[in-house]
A and B are shown apart, each in its own frame.
With several copies, the nearest count.
Chain A
Amino acid sequence: MTLATDIALKPKDFATDQDVRWCPGCGDYAILAAVQRALAKQGIPPHQIATIAGIGCSSRFPYYMATYGFHTIHGRAPAVATGLKVARPDLQVWVATGDGDSLSIGGNHFIHLLRRNVDLKVLLFNNRIYGLTKGQYSPTSELGKKTKSSPQGSVDNPFLPMSLAVGAEGSFLARSIDVDAKTLADVLAAAGAHHGTALVEILQNCNIFNDGAWDHLSSKEFRADQTILLEHGKPMIFGANRDKGIRLNGLRPEVVKIGENGVTEADLWVHDAHDEDPTRAFLLSRMEYPLFPVPVGILRSVQRPVYDALVNAQVDEQKATRKANLQGLLNGRSTWVVG
Chain B
Amino acid sequence: MTASATSAKPREVRDSVVIRFAGDSGDGIQLTGSQFSAASALAGNDTATFPDFPAEIRAPTGTLAGVSGFQLHFASRDILTPGDRADVLVVMNPAALAANLKWLKPNGILIANADSFQAKNLKMAGYGESPLEDGSLADYQLFQIDLSRLTNDALQGFGLSAKEVERCKNYFALGLVFWLFARNGEMVEDEIRRKFASKPVMMEANLKVFHAGWDYGENTELFALSYSVPAARDIAPGTYRSIAGNEATALGLVAAAHKAGLDLFYGSYPITPASDILHTFAGLKEYGVRTFQAEDEIAAICAAIGAAYGNQLAVTGTSGPGIALKSEAMGLAVMTELPLVIVNVQRGGPSTGLPTKTEQADLLQVLYGRNGESPMPVLAARSAGDAFDTAFEAARVAIKYRVPVVLLTDGAIANGAEPWRIPDVDSLPTIEPNLLDDAAKLDGGPLLPYLRDVETLARPWIKLGTPGLEHRIGGIEKWDKTGHISYDPQNHHNMVKLRQAKVDAIAAEIPPMHLEGAPEGDVLVLTWGSPYGAALTAVRELQAQGRAVTHANLRWLNPLPLDLGALLLKFRTVLVPEINNGQLVKVLRAAYALDIQQYNRISGQPLSVVELRDAILNVLPH
Contact = CB atoms under 8 A, between A and B. Distances in A.
Judge A-B direct contact (beta carbons within 8 Å).
yes
Interface stretch (B69-77, B274-282, B542-550): B274-282
A73 B332 contact: yes
Most buried by A among B306, B329, B421: B306
Contacts of A334: 38, 42, 187, 241-242
Contacts of A112: 295, 299
Given A87-B290, A337-B240, A148 B296 contact: no
Contacts of A339: 235-238
A73 B329 contact: yes
Contact of A323 (B41, B286, B475): B286
A113 B284 CA distance: 25
Contact of B293 (A21, A83, A149, A326): A149
A149 B473 contact: no
Contacts of A324: 286-288
A48 to B, nearest CB: 6
A212 interface: no
A237 B599 CA distance: 70
Contacts of A315: 285-286, 288-290
A317 B290 CA distance: 12
A63 B472 contact: yes
A38 interface: no
B285 A47 contact: no
B296 A105 contact: yes
A176 interface: no
Given A73-B332, A338-B240, A47 B468 contact: yes
B321 interface: yes
B279 to A, nearest CB: 4
A160 interface: no
A335 B422 contact: yes
Interface in A301-331: 311-312, 314-315, 317-319, 321-324, 326-327, 329-331
A83 B314 contact: yes
B298 interface: yes
A19 B283 contact: no
A79 B299 contact: yes
B249 to A, nearest CB: 13
A10 interface: no
A301 B291 CA distance: 28
B310 A73 contact: no
Nearest to A80: B306
B258 A326 contact: yes
Contact of B464 (A88, A312, A318, A329): A88
Interface in B290-320: 290-300, 302-312, 314
A86 B425 contact: no
B471 interface: yes
Contacts of A47: 465-470
Interface in B321-364: 321, 328-329, 331-332, 336, 351-352
Interface string B437-481: 000000000000000000000000000111111111111100000
Contact of A319 (B60, B232, B286): B286
A149 B278 contact: yes
Contacts of A23: 56-59
B433 interface: no
A247 interface: no
Interface in A179-214: 208-209
A24 B42 CA distance: 37
Contacts of B288: 315, 319, 324
B187 A83 contact: no
Contacts of A122: none
Contacts, number: 277
A157 interface: no
Interface string A96-125: 000000001101110010000000000000
B424 interface: yes
Most buried by B among A136, A139, A330: A330
Contacts of A75: 296
A192 B419 CA distance: 53
A316 to B, nearest CB: 9
A82 B239 contact: no
Contact of A149 (B57, B270, B285): B270
A24 B60 contact: yes
A84 B307 contact: yes
A130 interface: yes
B408 interface: no
Interface stretch (B10-18, B261-269, B495-503): B261-269
A335 B305 contact: no
B56 A62 contact: no
A3 B423 CA distance: 43
Nearest to B237: A339
Given A24-B58, A149-B270, A80 B302 contact: yes
Nearest to B462: A68
Interface of B: 38, 41-42, 44, 56-61, 63, 65, 187, 232, 235-243, 251, 254-255, 258, 263, 265, 267, 269-272, 275, 278-279, 282-300, 302-312, 314, 321, 328-329, 331-332, 336, 351-352, 421-425, 464-476, 484-485
Given A57-B57, A70-B474, A327-B425, 8 more contacts: A70-B309, A74-B321, A87-B290, A134-B275, A137-B293, A311-B292, A330-B255, A332-B422
24 contacts: A23-B57, A50-B309, A55-B475, A63-B474, A68-B309, A71-B473, A73-B328, A83-B267, A83-B303, A84-B310, A88-B310, A105-B295, A105-B297, A112-B295, A314-B285, A315-B285, A315-B288, A317-B285, A323-B286, A335-B422, A336-B240, A337-B237, A338-B232, A338-B238
Q: Which 10 A-B pairs have the closest CB atoms?
A: A339-B237, A71-B474, A83-B303, A83-B306, A23-B58, A79-B302, A84-B306, A69-B472, A318-B285, A87-B310
